[in-house]
Amino acid sequence: MQSTTSKFDILEKAYDASHFRELGHQVIDLLADHLEKAHSNSDYPVLSYQNPKDELAYWEQDFSSESGILDVFKNILEHSIHVHHPRYIGHQVAVPALVSTLAGLMSDMLSNGTGVYEMGMAANAIEKIVTDFVAKKIGYKTKTSGFLTSGGTLANLTALLAARKAKAPSAIWENGHQEKLAVIVSEEAHYCIDRAARILGFGSEGIIKVPVDKEFKINIDLLEEALDNAKSNGLHVIAVIGCACSTATGSYDDLDRLANFAEQHNLWFHVDGAHGGAVVFSERYKHLTKGIDRADSVVIDFHKMLMTPALNTGLIFKKEEDAYQTFAQKAQYLWDSQHTKEWYNSGKRTFECTKLMMSIKVYAILKTHGEKIFERNVDRLYGLTEVFSKMIRKRPNFKLALEPESNIVNFRYINVRGNNLNKVNNEIRQSLVASGKFYIVQTTIGEDKYLRTTIMNPLTKEEDLMALLDEIECIAETIVR
Ligand SMILES: Cc1ncc(COP(=O)(O)O)c(C=O)c1O
């Protein structure tokens, strides 16, 4: 059994400033070396793939070994995917601007859970500045209210809770469900919208999925019919949701026409801009979200197109009071009254009680690189995607699923005899990921498997994309042969 003194020693060491300083410098060196290798050496793997069984066995072995913490950090690095690698072209995860990762360290060290003002004075005030900044970019002219929350999934759920509060005929928050409620959304919406509607108790009937047109945008001409059918089935539709953009294909719904529809029928209009809402920062691409300023609520993930570490999502309400109505609830030990609109107690409006100091990560980027940085990033990623889709069109071995509107590109290798296209494209991706040379993902459109890339890294170059197509052709030849 350990003596009281040795226990005390262990605790003291856990908080020892000089040990932290020394290890901290070593960890920063480790990460900076990693970045240099990722940026300059195309042989440095994006991912050293291991199957789940072997990966677990590795860490089980490590847990019972004598490895020091610096070795553990090195091994975590080796066993993780590297989003800073220019050949990371996979899921929609931001490549964090480096200064925001340092703000992340600050957040973890200070642990100022920002739900209540005293527990995060700076972070709460900065959160207001950051969300007001986004509200302005959206084009809101009203007195808005915004906050940061833990991810697009939670933000979409919170927006629909607000919609329910505003548009449901009875007081569900107090009395529970009285009527059958529903929302209308494109069949291409992210699955979290479906999940949110079910969590809200709407059931499968309450999520009305409208088919898309050939560009994978919600078919506006089918909205009236969808609403009429819902009414005749005894449903009360509270909201229509626009995708800006959709996850699988990166298509932008026509937000202006959705806003017309919402206004005509007194529906809440929500925009899921988790990925592509970031174009509000870009003069060149903001036309894609024309009408977004008419939405009652908008979600934008900073951890997708806005260079911030996950999770970090802005939920902005056009009307301030809607944000405060969502969770009208007493919490005497946190604040005096639920009825006062205190922007500095963000917990009144968020699902979370305690949350990370998300705002300081965004603020660090804006202060270090200036307000134009987000525009530069969107323009770079969307612009490079235009170049990439031209490259694909020029090569007869490939076919684009559709002309990309965002930085999401779906394409497939087609120089295959017989009916093996899905199988071959599947194998191409597996082989590519196993090689560690590139990281891309895949999706299914209709019955067809496509290779799916999202250009997330502003340091990805045209040569990287050219090399990706060369590599796919090489792999495909061996598979087909
Ligand atoms: C359009 C859209 N909405 C919502 C989400 C979910 O966001 P998060 O992963 O931040 O919870 C995603 C994630 O890819 C998305 O693409």
The residue-averaged pLDDT of 431-447 equals 95
* pLDDT of res. 7: 59
Looking at residue 116, its amino acid is V
- Gap from CA of 64 to ligand 1 centroid (Å): 37
Indicate whether 334 pLDDT > 90.
Answer: no
- Give the pLDDT confidence of 123-165 residue by residue, as tens digits: 999 999 999 999 999 999 999 999 999 999 999 999 999 999 9
Q: Which residues of 282-315 are buried (b: 16+ CB within 10 A; e: fewer)?
A: beebbebbebbbbbbbbbbbbbbbbbbbebbbbb
With a 6 Å cutoff on the Cβ, whether 247 touches ligand 1 is yes
Residue 358: helix, strand or coil by DSSP? helix
* pLDDT of res. 335: 59
Looking at residue 53, its amino acid is K
- Gap from CA of 195 to ligand 1 centroid (Å): 12
Which comes out higher in pLDDT, residue 294 or 8?
A: 294
Indicate whether 333 pLDDT > 70.
Answer: no
Q: Which residues of 208-220 are buried (b: 16+ CB within 10 A; e: fewer)?
A: bbbebeeebbbbb
* Edge-to-edge strand ranges of the sheet holding 207-210: 145-149, 313-317, 297-301, 268-272, 236-243, 181-186, 207-210
Q: Which residues on adjacent β-strands are paired with residue 450?
A: 443
What CATH number has the domain spanning 104-369? 3.40.640.10
The residue-averaged pLDDT of 232-245 equals 97
Q: From the alpha carbon of 247, which atom of ligand 1 is closest?
A: 16
Q: What residue segments make up the domains of the chain, in order of their start?
A: 104-369
With a 6 Å cutoff on the Cβ, whether 275 touches ligand 1 is yes
With a 6 Å cutoff on the Cβ, whether 152 touches ligand 1 is yes
* pLDDT of res. 211: 97
- Gap from CA of 92 to ligand 1 centroid (Å): 8
The residue-averaged pLDDT of 319-347 equals 76
Indicate whether 2 pLDDT > 90.
Answer: no
Instruction: Tell me the pLDDT of the chain averaged across its residues.
Output: 94
